[in-house]
C-alpha cells in the first residue's frame, strides 16, 4: 500500500518487534511474514575452549551418538563410543542381499535380495527442511537422490469403497475437490454464507471454486473435459484423426467420502511429508556408514552397557562384550552423552537422578513394521505406469511404496510391501513369523497388482520394530501429558550425563530430531564442562 510515507522495511519492523516482544514474538512475526526458518538448525555447534584432556563417553553409535562424538572430538575432547551392535548407524539402516538379521525371539532372516536392492527398515525419506541431516550428508559425502513422495498415478484402496477396487489418487482427489467446490458454491448461492463473507468475497470465492474444482458454466462438477483435466480421460488427447480426448466418468460421491481418500490427501499436506524429499543413493544406511567413517576409531562394538554411575569427578560405564566370552569392562570419562533408547536405558542399572529416572521410564515406544518384497520385474512401472510414490490401503500393510531409483530398469526390484501404521495393524504383523509376514504382505498387496504380485515375487524381508533387539520398539511416543510432565527433565543435563536422540526432541521418529537433540545436548554439556 503506497501512502506517501517512507515505508518501514521488513528488517526495521522485525527489529522493533524483537526489541518489544523478545525472540518468541520475533519468531512469530517472522512466521507470519513467511521469513521463518523451517528448522532450528543454525549450523555446526561452537564448542570452542574445551579443556585439554577433558573426556566424554558416548553411549550408542546411532546418528545422535556419532554426531556428538564427531563434534566433541573436533572440539578437542577425548571421546569414545560404546555400541551394542556390531554395526554403527542405529535405526539408520538398510538390509541388503546377504545380510542376516535375528529379531527378538530368535527368528533369523537371511536376506536374499539381488545386488543393489535393499529394504530400509527404519527411516526412508528425508524432508527438504531437515537441514541438519542434509548439512551433514553433504559434509560427509552422502549422495542424495529424489524420493518420489507424491504420485498422482498411484492407488488409493479402501475395503469399504469403490467395490474394493483400487482407484488412482488423481481420480479420487479430483472428485473430492470437485464435489466440495460444487457444494460450497451451492451454499453461497443459497445464501448460507452471507453472514460469513461479504458480497465481493463471495464472488471471488465462487470464481476460485470454479477454477480449483473444475466446475462448468453452471458451477457443476460433471464428467467433461474440465474434470478430465484433473482426473484423467477415457481417451487421452492424441494426434491426428482420433486426437480429440473423451472425458472419464466420475466416481460415486459416497465412495469418494471414504476416509481413505481424504486421509491420503491430507497426508501430503503435512509439513514433514511435503515435497521435495530425498533418499541416499544406495540405501538409507549410507548415512550411518558415512557418519561411522568419521568416528570409526572411537567406536567399541558389541558392548552391552550394564551400569552407568556418575560421581563428583566423572562417569563410569560398565559394559559386557556380547560375544561368547562375555568379558566385562569399565570405561571412565568426565562426562557422558547417552543416546540409548529409553526402553533399554530404563533397564540399565544407574544412579541418574530420581527425576531423570522417572522421565526415562515414562515414555513408551511405538511399533512399526516394514516389509520389503523383491519382484522379477517392475510391473508397477511397465504395466501400471507408476514410478515411485505410494499406494495406500485400509488393510494392515498400510501402503506399498514403489522404488525411487533405477526407474525403467530391467531385472529384480524391491518395493516396500508394508509400512504398518501404529497399533493394531503393526502389532498384528509384528506378532507373525517372518514367513507369515511375507504371506500377509503378498495377500494384501496383491489388491493393487493382482495379475503380477505373486507371479513375479522372488523373496522378501521384514523388520518388526517391537522385536528389534537393540531398541525394543521404533520411536519414543510422547503424549502431550507426558511431555508436559517429563520432557524438560529428560533433556536437562543431569550433573555429568545428558541424554540425546530422537526421544529428546520435538521431531520425534525422524533422524533430524536425533541430530538436533544431539547438537543441543553437547552444546549444553560443553558449557557444563567449562563450568566444572
Partner 1 sequence: MMIRKAGLSLCAALAFASAAWADEAGGVGKSAPPVTGEQVYHQVCQACHMANAEGGTGAATIPALAHNPRLAVAAYPISMVLHGRGAMPGFAELLKPAQIAGVVGYVRTHFGNHYAAPVTAAEVAAAR
Binders of partner 1 among 263-302, rule CB under 8 A?
Answer: 263-264, 266-268, 270-273
Stretch that binds partner 1, among 15-23, 44-52, 158-166, 374-382 (CB under 8 A): 158-166
Taking the least distance from each CB to partner 1, the nearer of 27 and 268 is 268
Residue 214 vs residues 65, 178, 195, 217, 218: alpha-carbon distances, Å: 52, 6, 26, 10, 11
Q: Which of 300, 316, 318, 346 binds partner 1 (CB under 8 A)?
A: 346
Closest CA to 132 of 63, 231, 83, 191: 63
Contact 395, 444 (CB under 8 A): yes
Q: Which of 215, 438, 499, 507 binds partner 1 (CB under 8 A)?
A: 507
Residues 445-484, one symbol each (x = binds partner 1 by CB under 8 A, - = not), give -------------------x-xxxxxxxx-x-xxx-----
Q: Which of 38, 145, 160, 383 binds partner 1 (CB under 8 A)?
A: 160
Cβ 22 to partner 1 shortest distance, Å = 25
Residue 422 vs residues 105, 382, 399, 430, 465: alpha-carbon distances, Å: 21, 32, 13, 11, 11
Rule CB under 8 A: say whether 49 interacts with partner 1: no
CA distance 219 to 203: 12
Rule CB under 8 A: say whether 125 interacts with partner 1: yes
Stretch that binds partner 1, among 140-148, 227-235, 363-371, 450-458 (CB under 8 A): 363-371
Which positions from 199 through 228 interact with partner 1, judged by CB under 8 A? none
Helix axes 63-74, 511-531, angle to 10 degrees: 40
Taking the least distance from each CB to partner 1, the nearer of 468 and 498 is 468
Q: Strands 55-59, 335-338: parallel, antiparallel or unpaired by DSSP?
A: parallel
Rule CB under 8 A: say whether 390 interacts with partner 1: yes
Taking the least distance from each CB to partner 1, the nearer of 38 and 506 is 506
Taking the least distance from each CB to partner 1, the nearer of 182 and 396 is 396
Cβ 510 to partner 1 shortest distance, Å = 6
Rule CB under 8 A: say whether 510 interacts with partner 1: yes
Burial class (CB within 10 angstroms; exposed 0-12, middle 13-18, buried 19+) of 269: exposed
Question: Whats the size of the chain, residue-wise?
Answer: 532
Taking the least distance from each CB to partner 1, the nearer of 214 and 362 is 362
**In sequence order, what are the residues at sequence separation of 6 or more whose Cβ sits closer than 8 angstroms to the Cβ of residue 266?**
none
Residues 407-446, one symbol each (x = binds partner 1 by CB under 8 A, - = not), give ------------xxxxxxxxxx-xx---------------
Contact 365, 471 (CB under 8 A): yes
Taking the least distance from each CB to partner 1, the nearer of 105 and 141 is 105
Cβ 267 to partner 1 shortest distance, Å = 3
Grid cell in block for residue 188:
453461497
Q: Which of 16, 36, 139, 159 binds partner 1 (CB under 8 A)?
A: 159
Burial class (CB within 10 angstroms; exposed 0-12, middle 13-18, buried 19+) of 420: buried
- Three-state SS for 20? helix
Closest CA to 396 of 445, 334, 350: 445
Which positions from 80 through 99 interact with partner 1, judged by CB under 8 A? 84
Taking the least distance from each CB to partner 1, the nearer of 12 and 263 is 263
CA distance 342 to 231: 47
Rule CB under 8 A: say whether 105 interacts with partner 1: yes
Q: Please give the helix or strand (H or E) that residue 516 lies within, else none.
A: helix 511-531
Q: Which of 136, 392, 402, 448 binds partner 1 (CB under 8 A)?
A: 392
Taking the least distance from each CB to partner 1, the nearer of 227 and 350 is 350
Contact 93, 284 (CB under 8 A): yes
- Three-state SS for 196? coil
Taking the least distance from each CB to partner 1, the nearer of 77 and 84 is 84
Q: How many chain residues bind partner 1 (CB under 8 A)?
A: 74
Amino acid at each position: 500500500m503506497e501512502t506517501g510515507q517512507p515505508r518501514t522495511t521488513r528488517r526495521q519492523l522485525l527489529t522493533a518487534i524483537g526489541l518489544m516482544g523478545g525472540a518468541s514474538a520475533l519468531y512469530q512475526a517472522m512466521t507470519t511474514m513467511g521469513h521463518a526458518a523451517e528448522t532450528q538448525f543454525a549450523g555446526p555447534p561452537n564448542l570452542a575452549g574445551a579443556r585439554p584432556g577433558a573426556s566424554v563417553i558416548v553411549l550408542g553409535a546411532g546418528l545422535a551418538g556419532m554426531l556428538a562424538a564427531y563434534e566433541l572430538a573436533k572440539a578437542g575432547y577425548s571421546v569414545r563410543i560404546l555400541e551394542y551392535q556390531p554395526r554403527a548407524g542405529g535405526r539408520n539402516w538398510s538390509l541388503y542381499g546377504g545380510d542376516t538379521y535375528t529379531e527378538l525371539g530368535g527368528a533369523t532372516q537371511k536376506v536374499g535380495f539381488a545386488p543393489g536392492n535393499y529394504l530400509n527398515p527404519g527411516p526412508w525419506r528425508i524432508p527438504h527442511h531437515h537441514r541438519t541431516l542434509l548439512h551433514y550428508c553433504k559434509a560427509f559425502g552422502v549422495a542424495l537422490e529424489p524420493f518420489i513422495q507424491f504420485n498422482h498415478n498411484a492407488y488409493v484402496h479402501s475395503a469399504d469403497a469403490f467395490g474394493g477396487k483400487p482407484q488412482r489418487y488423481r481420480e479420487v482427489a479430483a472428485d473430492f475437490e470437485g464435489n466440495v467446490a460444487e457444494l460450497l458454491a451451492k451454499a453461497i448461492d443459497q445464501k448460507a454464507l452471507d453472514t460469513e463473507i461479504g458480497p465481493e468475497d463471495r464472488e471471488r470465492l465462487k470464481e476460485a471454486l470454479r477454477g480449483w474444482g473444475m466446475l462448468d458454466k453452471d458451477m457443476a462438477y460433471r464428467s467433461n473435459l474440465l474434470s478430465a483435466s484433473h482426473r484423467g480421460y477415457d481417451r487421452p488427447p492424441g494426434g491426428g484423426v482420433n486426437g480429440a480426448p473423451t472425458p472419464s466418468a466420475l466416481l460415486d460421491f459416497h465412495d469418494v467420502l471414504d476416509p481413505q481418500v481424504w486421509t491420503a490427501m491430507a497426508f501430503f499436506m503435512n509439513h514433514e511429508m511435503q515435497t521435495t524429499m530425498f533418499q541416499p543413493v544406495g540405501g538409507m544406511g549410507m548415512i550411518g556408514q558415512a557418519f561411522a567413517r568419521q568416528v570409526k576409531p572411537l567406536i567399541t562394538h558389541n558392548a552391552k552397557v550394564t551400569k552407568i554411575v556418575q560421581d563428583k569427578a566423572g562417569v563410569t560405564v560398565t559394559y559386557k562384550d556380547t560375544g561368547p566370552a562375555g568379558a566385562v569392562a569399565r570405561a571412565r570419562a568426565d562426562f557422558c552423552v547417552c543416546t540409548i533408547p529409553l526402553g533399554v536405558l530404563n533397564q540399565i542399572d544407574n544412579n541418574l537422578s530420581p527425576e531423570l529416572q522417572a522421565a526415562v521410564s515414562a515414555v513408551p515406544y511405538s511399533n512399526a513394521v516394514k516389509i520389503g518384497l523383491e519382484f522379477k520385474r517392475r510391473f508397477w512401472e511397465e504395466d501400471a505406469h507408476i514410478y515411485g510414490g505410494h499406494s495406500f490401503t485400509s488393510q494392515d500393510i498400510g501402503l506399498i511404496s514403489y522404488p525411487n531409483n533405477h526407474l525403467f530398469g530391467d531385472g529384480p526390484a524391491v518395493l516396500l510391501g508394508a509400512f504398518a501404521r501404529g497399533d493394531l495393524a503393526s502389532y498384528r504383523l509384528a506378532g507373525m513369523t517372518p514367513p507369515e509376514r511375507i504371506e500377509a504382505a503378498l495377500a494384501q498387496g496383491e489388491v493393487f497388482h493382482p495379475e503380477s504380485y505373486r507371479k513375479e515375487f522372488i523373496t522378501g524381508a521384514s523388520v518388526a520394530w517391537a522385536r528389534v533387539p537393540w531398541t525394543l520398539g521404533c520411536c519414543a511416543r510422547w503424549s502431550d501429558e507426558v511431555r508436559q510432565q517429563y520432557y524438560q527433565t529428560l533433556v536437562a543435563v543431569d550433573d555429568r550425563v545428558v541424554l540425546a536422540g530422537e526421544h529428546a526432541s520435538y521431531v520425534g521418529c525422524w533422524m533430524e530430531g536425533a541430530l538436533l537433540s544431539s547438537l543441543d545436548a553437547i552444546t549444553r554439556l560443553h558449557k557444563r564442562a567449562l563450568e566444572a
